[in-house]
């Protein structure tokens, strides 16, 4: 279940979808009301980046820079040097994409108090295509000293992130999307820069996500729970500075992690977490994100499926990482099966104890079970193995009186698990 104490919306009800950039526009207005030093600069995308509301309310504190992103960054740096708090708004592919050198040299090198808002990030930009689908911005911003990098999960959190950015000193990169995103948080959901939030408790595997992928992670967790897999979901909105204590605790509790982001798997959220855990507490990991390729034009939902960014892709990754997590334990247990079991594993048994598959086939011994596991259809496997039972494990326990092997098979949640485990059992047994 979702951790209700952090006040999320109820996923069982219809979910409202709002562009995260709307939250940026709302946050700018509140920040402008709270502090007269807040100013906004835009590169000819005032309406699209939702800077228009600030322009209308505070025209004397708004500057339209035109199509000049390098100038956008350097002018903002100069304004910050005299006490202003500039927010610079553009598409992420242009800022920080086109003006990265100016951000590096005039903003980060000088540790100026400038906030960079990168809109239309990720492949969900859709029809605009590869040139406008920024998939590398987390990588190029988190590499910069003094930079904080925030990827809010929905419009409400984007508003909170904008307000927090206005109050914290130094360069901040805010990343948000164009497409409508599921609103999973509420006004009461906690948000603090540098603090990851556990949205759902679990023990078997953790999904650490940012941006719109947080919703996909929650949907995947619900589905996995129905399959008997306990899943933790972490909203890691701040990529830098990384919440190392929380990430370490998550790794120690679940010992298996999936990261999910609408960004290249190289250099993004997954890389940041892997870099940290590899030094202090390595665990098996899988990375859900864009795999070293550019985007393309298309419908947002189609692109999310094509690029492997859906809840189903997270589910597949979870099962893969659980196999790796269980392998050392399985190998240790397999090593305890003695060579005297070889005849039992391969031998024929009484017809009264044949295993009859739902599909009509008959399995006479464990060797045939291994072969059947490789070609068995999903429907047949799901009939015999689900959250309520494992017929194969029960058969082995009853007929062969082999509790250790039965326990191994009981942990097999997929056909691949079953086949791989039996293959390893036979290799180990026949080698002795």
Q: Give the HSE-up count for residue 72: Cα atoms under 13 Å, Cβ half-sphere.
A: 30
Helix H or strand E encompassing 148: strand 148-150
152: nearest Cα among 117, 126, 202, 128 = 117
Straight-line distance from the first to the last Cα atom of the chain, in angstroms, rounded to the nearest whole number: 46
Q: At what angle do helices 311-334 and 213-226 cross, to 10 degrees?
A: 50
CB 247 within 8 A of CB 276: yes
Q: Is 261 a catalytic residue?
A: no
Residue showing tokens 């952090």: 6
- Distance of alpha carbon 11 from alpha carbon 36, whole angstroms: 39
- Helix count and strand count (H, E) for the chain: 17, 18
Cα gap 364→351, rounded to integer Å: 8
Cis peptide before 241 (omega within 30 of 0): yes
b/e for 292-328, b at 16 or more Cβ within 10 A?
A: eeebeebebeebbeebbbbbebbbbbbbbbbbebbee
> What is the spatial distance between Cα 312 and Cα 419, in angstroms, rounded to a whole number?
22
Q: Which residues pair with 95 in a beta bridge?
A: none
| 111 phi-psi bin (left φ>0, alpha ψ -120 to 50, beta other) | left
Residue in 69, 136, 197, 333 annotated catalytic: 69
Locus of tokens 């508003």: 159
Count, residues in the chain: 432
Cα-flanking dihedrals φ and ψ of residue 93, to 5°? -65, -25
Which of 147, 57, 163 lies closest to 109, judged by CA? Answer: 147
Active site residues: 69
């Amino acid at each position: 279940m979702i951790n209700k104490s952090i006040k999320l919306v109820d996923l069982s009800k219809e979910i409202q979808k709002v562009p995260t950039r709307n939250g940026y526009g709302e946050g700018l207005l509140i920040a402008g009301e709270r502090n007269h030093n807040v100013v906004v600069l835009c590169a000819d995308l005032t309406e699209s980046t939702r800077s228009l509301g600030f322009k209308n309310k505070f025209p004397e504190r708004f500057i339209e820079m035109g199509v000049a992103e390098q100038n956008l960054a350097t002018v903002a740096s100069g304004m910050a040097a005299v006490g202003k708090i500039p927010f610079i708004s553009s598409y992420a592919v242009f800022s920080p994409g086109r003006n990265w050198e100016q951000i590096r040299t005039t903003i980060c090198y000088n540790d100026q108090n400038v906030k960079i808002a990168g809109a239309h990030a990720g492949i969900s930009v859709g029809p605009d295509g590869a040139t406008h689908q920024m998939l590398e911005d987390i990588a190029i911003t988190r590499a910069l000293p003094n930079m904080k990098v925030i990827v809010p999960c929905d419009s409400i959190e984007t508003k909170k992130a904008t307000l927090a950015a206005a109050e914290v000193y130094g360069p901040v990169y805010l990343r948000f999307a164009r497409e409508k995103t599921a609103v999973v948080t509420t006004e009461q959901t906690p948000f603090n820069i540098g603090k990851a939030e556990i949205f759902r408790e679990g023990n078997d595997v953790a999904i650490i996500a940012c941006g719109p992928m947080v919703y996909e992670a929650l949907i995947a967790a619900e589905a996995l729970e129905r399959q008997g897999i306990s899943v933790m979901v972490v909203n890691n909105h701040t990529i830098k500075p990384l919440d190392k204590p929380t990430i370490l605790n998550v790794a120690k509790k679940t010992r298996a992690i999936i990261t999910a982001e609408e960004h290249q798997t190289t250099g993004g959220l997954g890389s940041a977490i892997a870099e940290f855990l590899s030094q202090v507490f390595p665990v098996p990991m899988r990375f859900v994100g864009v795999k070293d390729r550019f985007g393309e034009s298309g419908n947002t939902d189609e692109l999310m499926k094509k690029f492997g960014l859906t809840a189903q892709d997270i589910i597949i990754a979870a099962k893969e990482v659980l196999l790796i997590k269980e392998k050392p334990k399985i190998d240790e247990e397999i090593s305890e099966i003695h060579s005297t079991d070889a005849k039992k594993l391969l031998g024929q048994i009484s017809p009264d104890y044949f295993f009859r598959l739902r599909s009509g086939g008959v399995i006479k011994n464990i060797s045939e079970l291994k072969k059947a596991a490789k070609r068995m259809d999903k429907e047949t496997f799901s009939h015999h193995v689900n959250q309520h039972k494992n017929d194969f494990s029960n058969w082995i326990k009853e007929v062969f009186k082999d509790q250790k092997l039965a326990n191994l098979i009981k942990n097999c949640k997929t056909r691949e698990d079953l086949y791989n485990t039996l293959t390893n059992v036979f290799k180990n047994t026949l080698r002795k």
